[in-house]
Amino acid sequence: MNADAARDVLDSQTLLGPTLLFAAFTGVLLFASSLIAGWTENWFVFHRLDSAIAWNPRVEARLGTARAQRWAHWWRRHVSGLAGSVSLGFMLGLVPTVAGFFALPLEVRHITLSAGQLAAALGALGWDVLREPAFWWCVAAIPLIGALNVGVSFLLAFRVALRSRGVRVGDRSRIYAAIRLRLRERPMSFLRPPRFGSCAALGVLEPIGVGQRRFHRGPASRSRSGAAVQPTPAHPPSVRAERVEALSSASPVAAGGTRCGR
């Protein structure tokens, strides 16, 4: 990269321009690549191509039975990732060109590509560029680009998942409220995975009776006034006591109960 190309990078990647808009558009492309990846895996499984590879006479004669089985298993595990990566690469490279053909000023802002271009511009311009505000405007745009890439793609995928599962509108509002509550109370849980086996950290559904489930929220939540609010019991105490007595004499498997491993 020469000095002129490096200056173009600083002018195009700056936070003062349409970088965030292009980053959100790139999130749509990420979502589209995930759709292609899912469709490819479904097509692979529906047509049983892993079995076709494993038991193909030519493949089996050339690789052997054991290696053919491993080759089929490798394709079964990685076909989705390969399809997503290849389709995303094509879209990141071709969509701006096709949009320019139709006089649409669309560009892509992927966090990996943007960070790499900024590092290359730093190498081309030297350490003196660190004294320029334009460079730091580009640095400030990098985390926002990543947040929009992930946020837009996740939001679109989440909406598709809700519609595919047939979640009602009222239940969707409760799910959104739970996500906002988690974001407000424990924002780091979106960035740092919880410890394995912790029911309170994972927020899993714990059985409390036959056919009854309650969301285990761990510590008591707080109301708007700041007072602690305990979770509302799913049943009156007398009903829950009868269920406990009934379950105490039954095995965990027969009662349909499971516990989160510690």
| 87 plus 144 within the same structural domain | yes
Q: Are 65 and 123 in contact (CB under 8 A)?
A: no
Range of the domain at 67: 3-166
Same domain flag for 216 and 162: no
Same domain, 56 and 104: yes
Residue 221 counted as domain residue:
yes
Model confidence at 7, pLDDT cuts 50, 70, 90, reads confident
| Domain co-membership, 232 together with 190 | no
Query: Domain check: are 123 and 249 in the same one?
Result: no
CA gap 17, 20 in Å, rounded: 8
Whole-prediction pTM value?
0.65
pLDDT winner (highest mean) among 32-36, 49-53, 130-134: 32-36
Is residue 261 assigned to a domain? no
Residue 192 pLDDT greater than 80, yes or no: no
Residue 250 lies in a domain: yes
* Alpha carbon distances (Å) from 192 to 157, 159, 186: 21, 23, 10
Residue 117 lies in a domain: yes
Q: Would you say residue 262 lies in a domain?
A: no
The whole-angstrom separation of Cα 159 and Cα 152 is 11
Q: Are 141 and 242 in the same domain?
A: no
Are 18 and 144 in the same domain?
Answer: yes
Question: Are residues 15 and 45 part of one domain?
Answer: yes
- Do 92 and 222 sit in the same domain of this protein? no
* 209: pLDDT strictly greater than 60: no
Higher pLDDT, 37 or 169: 37
Number of separate domains in the chain: 3
Clarify whether residues 175 and 144 are in a common domain. no
Q: Give the separation between CA 190 and CA 186, rounded to whole angstroms.
A: 8
Note whether residue 260 is domain-resident. no
Looking at the structure, tell me whether residues 247 and 184 fall in a common domain. Answer: no
252 has pLDDT over 50 = no
Please work out, in degrees rounded to the nearest 5, the angle formed at the alpha carbon of residue 245 by the alpha carbons of 243 and 249: 115
Do residue 173 and residue 238 come from a single domain? no
> Per-residue pLDDT tens for 51-100?
888 888 888 888 888 888 888 899 989 899 999 999 999 999 898 889 88
